Structure 1
Amino acid sequence: MQFRSTQSDDRLVSFKDAVLRCLPAGEGLYVPASVTDMRQFFLYMDLDISYPELVAAVTPGLLQGELNPFSASRVAESAFDFEPELKQLDDDLSVLTLYNGPTGVFKDFGIAFLAAVMEELIKNKGFAMTLSAAKGDTGVSIAHAFYKRQGIIAVILYPSGPIRGLDPAFFIQNGGNIIPIQIRGTFDDCQRLVAEAIHDRPFADRYGITSANAINVGRLLPQAFYYLYAFIKVKQHIKEDLIFSVPCGNFGNLIAGLYAWKFGLPLSGFIAAMNANNAFGDFFRGKEYRPHPLITTNSPALDVSQPSNYKRLVAFYQEAPAVMRNMVYPETVDDQATLIALEKAWKQHHLILDSHSAVAYAAAERYAKGGGDFYGHVVVLATGHPAKQADMIAEILGAELEIPEKLRKLQHKTDPVALIDPQLDALQGAIASCV
């Protein structure tokens, strides 16, 4: 598989270059230039296959010439000591839980794969540094995945505010390979600094800088694997179409699902489940995309007014506009409908969801009642552990939620290694002083 820029650059790069250099010149993002039909690798897989086995089987065919079966097995086993779980609720509905990793969010899957594959790609041949912007638990997920990876240092940029969940034993001054740096500014400042550092090629080449954010296609691409996993687990139970209902904020999960479809996954469509921000509702209906002011909701991870994957979605639509507009069905779910969905999932199926997963659940129910253009089995992506919103959910359901110890640890405050102004020279100086 080769990759190109979304800016219509004719230059093709390998998976290794796309991962280790992260961003093409200009303002584009890397996307697959062509996709291998992977149906022979997953259509006939055994129902009992584990997630690492699936990843190990699919990756060599996907990345032909870059990861052989032995390398792919090492990556899969190294990355995943956790896996998704498919829960079939009835003949028409299943839920795929993606919060079984160390920080209780779907991001753990992509970040874990990226860390393991980077270690394999530079094995005995070099070094790398991931520079990533973090809010919420993203920084913990990055730290956990990259800790003790040979030849890799992980720099994590935080905006103003408390930093939580990091273990100081991981830090570089304590013999680890993690460097948390706080910026006197916003999350947008952190993202800007990541891009500026990568585009400063002399500096980036000196330290081997890439990113563990979703701008790196090496983090986004492996999210397609859990769509394949869901199909393998549910295929013997479905007789009609297969549809996925996806909570959408930055739209990375939707992009990954579209990649899975390009790999040959036999599905009929996606429900793009958005909260009141409804970032791409007009775009999916064929209208011009126009950013709106941000709305604060009870599904905060979906509170995005200008999704970072816009360029990748545009690239899909430019390739096959008619096909894409008949595959992605936008649904907007407000706060009240989200709370109702939480309660209904509990009463009807004894299923506890977080608010983001409830947005996808409500969208799936609404679409099924509306008839849509197809009828079939819907798989709802549950992207966050409900215990992360324990107080809100307990109040709605009238049931106490048990909080796993790994999630309790995410509340511990941590001091950064450095506190700097939101300027590139300050960041470069902080990195130089730590390495």
Structure 2
Amino acid sequence: MKLYNLKDYCEQVNFLQAVKMGLGKNQGLFFPVNLPTIPEKEINKIIEMDFLSRSVKILSMLIGPEISIDNLKKYVYQAFSFPGPNIVPVTKNISCCELFHGPTLAFKDFGARFMAQIISHLNTKNSIITILTATSGDTGAAVAHAFYNAPNVRVVILYPKGKISTLQEALFCTLGKNITTIAVDGSFDECQSLVKQAFNDHQLRNQTGLNSANSINISRLLAQICYFFEAYALIPKKQRKKLVIAVPCGNFGNLTAGLLAKSMGLPIQSFIAATNANDTVPRFLQSGKWKPYDCISTISNAMDISRPNNWPRVEELFSRKRWKLNTLGFGSVSDKVTTETLLTLQNIGYISEPHAAVAYQLLHNQLKEDEFGLFLGTAHPSKFKNIIDKILNINIPLSETLKSPSKLPILSHYMKPNFEKLKHFLTS
């Protein structure tokens, strides 16, 4: 698999190099040179496969011979060793695709666990690797648990202090051992900026064996393509003809993966990019002007991102496929409307959480009568117990996944958003 740097087309690497590097020159994202397509007559055969076998097939088409089929099969089976997507009908023509049945109750388990397998494959010399990543909530837990106790891997996770839920924090800030967490006095965008600065420091990268587990890393992105195929396979055939998928968007990695699945031939009619008040992309799609504002804290905190990293990949894909950006659905939802939507969903018999509620609301508003809609459930409602219990006047029981960590002390360090301080921390 060949990939090129979106900021320097002359820089080309293979898949394993792209995974190891994370970012290219000038903090550029890597993007596939070739976009494989599955002939229409083959799609049905692939859809009939089971989730794990199909995932191996899809990833082998993308990655090519760099990883043997036997190894790839082993990595996929180990990474996806938890319940896959689950389709739950919500209304007559709308269902939720629940992606939160993994070990940290979030969709990011798919990408983080696959990346952990690839990093292990890469580290043949048993040298020390430092995984540096920023999280707005769910990435941190998925990455921490995927790499927990991994030999020769040090994980450092930055998150905005006081701006993720207490249960999200407990899931990854109580582990210790090879997992180090830093509460940054700032926004997610500032955390993400620190990560980018670290990758731009070549001496630091070489000294610490730096890598990133954000959705900027191509291994995470490719793994996520697989569950879009599974979601399609789980829908009754009569509902597949005009399928619209609403994706809660923060860093836009999830939407990028879905669009890549479509580019491979998966017959999804269209997508809706759903954001909260951090609406840089919806405003851009409406006005043509890229104008990020300061990040706003909302109850859908994992989407509190004003400068989404993966948007350049979305634009590149639309350009390469000669799709028109105006065919992409979009919209933003306020906290007030999100709250009302959670109550609406409860009244029709489905308990959701703020991120999925944002996607449901926009899907409900934009779906046409002859279309079928899926909105992605990206995190388990119990991860937002304080918010959900208050809004819905219920008491969501905590699973063991959340119950045990919630009783443990938070082990995080504290830091102002200062790169020199981070650099000193990483090298000390």
Q: What TM-score does the superposition give when structure 1 sets the normalisation length?
A: 0.86
Query: Quick one: distance in 1 between partners of 2:112 and 2:321?
Result: 29
Paired with 1:326 and 1:426, the residues of 2 have a C-alpha distance of 43
Query: Runs of 4 or more off by more than 6 Å in structure 1?
Result: none
Given candidates 384, 390, 394, the residue that maps to 1:389 is: 384
Partner of 1:272: 273
What amino acid is aligned across from residue 409 of structure 2 in structure 1? K
The question of 1:413 aligning with 2:428 is answered: no
**8 Å CA contact retained: 1:119, 1:151:** no
Contact 2:285 2:326 in 1 (8 A): no
Indicate conservation of the 8 Å contact 1:286/1:325, yes or no. Answer: no
In structure 2, C-alpha distance between the alignment counterparts of 1:427 and 1:293, rounded to whole Å: 22
Aligned length: 420
How far apart are the structure 1 equivalents of 2:391 and 2:288? 37
Structure 2 gap segments, 5+ residues each: none
Q: Secondary structure at the match of 2:155?
A: strand
SS at match of 1:156: strand
| Secondary structure, aligned partner of 1:154 | strand
Distance 2:319 2:181 in 1: 39
Query: Offset of 1:357 from its aligned partner?
Result: 0.3
Amino acid at match of 2:403: R
Deviations 1:89-121 (A, max 9, x none): 455222111111222222222111111121123
Number of the residue aligned with 2:324:
324
Which moved further from structure 2: 323-332 or 359-368? 323-332
Q: Which residue pairs with 1:358 in the alignment?
A: 357
Partner of 2:170: 164
Q: What SS does the aligned partner of 2:50 have? A: coil
Q: Counterparts of 1:215 and 1:310 in 2: how far apart (Å)?
A: 10
Q: 1:430 to 1:291 in 2, by over 3 A?
A: closer
Structure 1 pair 306/89, CA: closer, same or farther in 2 (3 Å)?
same
- Offset at residue 425 of structure 1 (A): 5.0
Q: How does 1:21-420 map to 2 (within 5 A)?
A: 21-38=21-38, 43-45=44-46, 49-50=50-51, 52-82=52-82, 83-89=84-90, 92-123=93-124, 128-158=129-159, 160=161, 164-166=170-172, 170-171=176-177, 177-181=178-182, 187-238=188-239, 240-285=241-286, 287-320=288-321, 323-348=323-348, 350-368=349-367, 375-411=370-406, 412-416=408-412
90 and 156 in structure 1: CA distance in 2 versus 1, 3 angstrom threshold: closer
Q: CA deviation at 1:6?
A: 1.6
Gaps (5+ residues) in structure 1? Answer: 172-176
Q: CA deviation at 1:167?
A: 7.0
Task: Give the match for residue 19 of structure 1.
Answer: 19
Change (3 A) 1:105 1:41: farther
Q: Tell me the alpha carbon deviations over residues 72-102 of structure 1, each in whole angstroms, 9 at most, x when there is no partner.
A: 1111122122222122345522211111122
Q: Percent identity at matched positions?
A: 31
CA contact (8 A) 1:130 1:209 kept: yes
Quick one: which amino acid aligns to residue 131 of structure 2?
Answer: T
CA 1:209–1:380: 2 relative to 1, 3 Å: same
Cα distance in 1 between the residues matched to 2:81 and 2:58: 18
CA contact (8 A) 2:244 2:367 kept: no
Give the superposition deviation at 1:42.
5.4
Deviation at 1:43, TM superposition (A): 3.2
Cα separation, 1, equivalents of 2:183 and 2:419:
13
Check the 8 A contact 2:106/2:378 in 1, yes or no. Answer: yes
Q: What code does the residue aligned with 1:414 have?
A: I
Is the alpha carbon distance of 1:36 and 1:287 closer, same or farther for their aligned partners in structure 2, counting shifts above 3 Å? same
Name the CA distance, whole Å, in 1 between partners of 2:238 and 2:98. 18
Contact 1:284/1:329, CA 8 A, preserved across alignment: no
Cα shift at 1:316? 2.9
Provide the C-alpha distance between the structure 2 equivalents of 1:2 and 1:93, rounded to a whole number of angstroms: 38
User: What is the CA distance between 1:160 and its match in structure 2?
Assistant: 4.8
Equivalent-residue separation in structure 2 for 1:41 and 1:75 (angstroms) = 24
Larger mean CA deviation between 64-73 and 331-340 belongs to 331-340
The one-character-per-residue Cα deviations of 1:35-54 (angstroms, maximum 9, x if unpaired) are: 1124577532465724x333
Asked if 2 retains the 8 angstrom alpha-carbon contact of 1:23 and 1:215, the reply is yes
The one-letter code of the counterpart of 2:358 is V
Q: Give 1:281 shift.
A: 1.6
Cα 1:363–1:410, aligned 2, differ >3 Å: closer, same or farther? farther
Q: Are 2:174 and 2:409, in contact at CA under 8 Å, matched by a contact in 1? A: no
Gap change, CA 1:420 and 1:307, over 3 Å in 2 = closer
Aligned partner of 2:100: which letter?
Y
- The residue number in structure 2 matching 1:6 is 6
SS in 1 for 2:137: coil
Q: Helix, strand or coil for the counterpart of 1:413?
A: coil
Kindly state the Cα deviation for residue 306 of structure 1 after the two structures are TM-superposed. 2.4
How far, CA to CA, are the matches of 1:395 and 1:259 in structure 2? 38
